[in-house]
Chains A and B, each alone.
Chain A
Amino acid sequence: MAGDPYDYIAALAVIGVVFVSAVLVIPSMNYVSLLQVDQQQLRNVAEQIFKTMLLEPGYPSDWGLADPFDQDSVDRIGLASENSTLYVLDSDKVQRLVTDNPIGYVEYDKTRELLGLEGYGFSLSIVPPFNATVENNQFEVTPSRIDLKLEVTVLYVDGGPVPNAAVESTIIYTTKKGENSAFYAIVERGSTDPLGVCIAEKHMNAPSGEQFSDIIVVFRVSVASVASMLAVYQRVPPNNIANINYAGDNIILTVPEITPRGARWVDNIIEFDWESFVSMYNGTRSNDDKLTYGEGYKVWSRTFRGLKHGVPSLLIMGFWAVEESEGRRCILIAGPNPNWFGSRVLQYGDPERAKGANCVVKLQRNVVISGMTYLAEMMVWKES
């Protein structure tokens, strides 16, 4: 009889130990499972968002075309082209994800709201599947002579060189004869060596009676005919002269907040797509082609029938403008931003915010925009 209470106490102690260890062990086992379930859920969410963004056109189906653009007019977001096959994106819609686009863009929080992503964060980038960098070995432009030697290096995303990549350099230059300017283009072709390097070299004298004014070089780089990269080497940062954009059939130029604030005139516009380039406009240097800070001249807009159908990748524009420390001359710039250095969306959403998250899902797909291949990469995380 005397042993009974001790038996009960011992039994109680053993049950207590079992209970406490179960309380400690089971949740920790479940925590791992829950974390994995959480990851799985996050992956499903990421796949769903990616599917919505890349395979659906959104509503209205031409929401990227609106001018002026109001993000509240977008009911459903999706970047796919209407009536196209899988993973072909509409460049007008993609442009609306370029933050600080002067003709309007969809803010990150609005996109999150449209995608129903409360509690989740995401970032999206649409970049070329390989990197091409242009290094200036020699780029001398005087009124009488041009000497240029540019080194194009083509690398895989992991940094390995891409040998045998086809590099087509289109050298566009303008000359001045009195107040008139003329436009010339030369196309040269080469390919990268085993180190992924291709050199574009050109030396020339100005045509008789003319003076060189400006030069711009557009590189088209393709690997095994996969059309994938456009890179531009230009002397003047494009945003010093004008912000170039297009929506549908309209080309829209706006004046950047930068000095000197002198008036500038649109001289020429050249449309670049993957296969060709076409001169599409010659300015008159009248008030119709003037762009300045004065009221009525802050925005220049023209409709070019069929521009949307042609889906240009790039626009090269000649301006009669003043650059700091130089007089008025014809200046060539490329746009829109960031197309001129090969990307479509550098970063939409802040990936830094993913650093505090328990788990992050990263997905990538190849997409086609204006006939060129890009890599769409998305990161999704759960916000705490």
Chain B
Amino acid sequence: MKRAKGKGKSGQMRIVEALLASFLILFAIAFVNLFALTPTSQTYEAGELEKIGFNVLHDLDEQRLLGRYVQFKEWANFTAALTVSLPTDVYFNLTVYDSSWRVVNTAPISYGTAQVFSSSFVASVTYIVPGYQANYSPKILVLQLVRG
């Protein structure tokens, strides 16, 4: 009788162990899912925004407008060009630096409040403009993008 009772208890323990093991597996699966890099995740979105940002700056450069905007300090035109070229649900903030990393743009080139850019998932594109026509005067453009 004693042996039988002991066997029964160890059987119950096995069931409890099995239960715990199954819960452990379920929790592990749920936990791993949290880290899955999905298309809707912010990290993935930032990659897509970087591509859009580079594409827009390259397109403006292709039309020889980037150098002109920077050389003649056409900040309002620069803002309008970015507004028209970027998708309507994308906020942007562009800063122009000289080669010593001093800010050149005297007026903001942005769309969206500063709060929008405090998010941790901001896409950032760096683009170098060598100058305008024969004038060599390198400037560094840093374009930050966030999807609204």
Known: A36-B39, A43-B39. A373 touches B59 (CB 8 A): yes
Known: A14-B19, A86-B58. A36 touches B38 (CB 8 A): yes
B11 partner, pick from A7, A37, A226, beta carbons under 8 A: A7
Tell me if A270 counts as interface (CB < 8 A to partner B).
no
- Beyond the given A29-B33, A129-B85, could you list 11 further A-B residue pairs with CB under 8 A, ordered by the A residue number? A3-B8, A4-B4, A11-B11, A18-B22, A22-B22, A36-B36, A39-B39, A157-B88, A223-B80, A224-B84, A368-B59
State the B residues within 8 Å of A (CB): 1, 4, 8, 11-12, 15, 18-19, 22, 26, 29-30, 33, 36-40, 44, 48, 51-52, 55-56, 58-60, 62-63, 65, 68-69, 74, 76-78, 80-81, 83-85, 87-88
Is chain B's interface secondary structure helix, strand, loop, or mixed overall?
Answer: helix
A11 partner, pick from B12, B22, B33, B85, beta carbons under 8 A: B12
Question: Would A223 and B62 count as touching, CB distance under 8 A?
Answer: no
Question: Would A373 and B85 count as touching, CB distance under 8 A?
Answer: yes
Whole-angstrom distance from the CB of A372 to the nearest CB of chain B?
9
Residues of B within 8 A of A30 (CB): 29
A-B contact pairs, 28 of them (CB 8 A): A3-B8, A14-B15, A15-B15, A25-B26, A29-B30, A30-B29, A33-B36, A37-B38, A40-B37, A40-B38, A42-B39, A86-B55, A87-B55, A162-B80, A164-B80, A224-B69, A224-B74, A224-B76, A224-B80, A224-B81, A226-B60, A228-B84, A365-B52, A365-B55, A366-B56, A368-B59, A371-B63, A373-B85
Question: Would A368 and B8 count as touching, CB distance under 8 A?
Answer: no
Residues of A within 8 A of B65 (CB): 224-226
Smallest Cβ-Cβ distance to A29: which chain B residue:
B29
8 A Cβ contacts from A31-51 to B:
32-33, 36-37, 39-40, 42-43
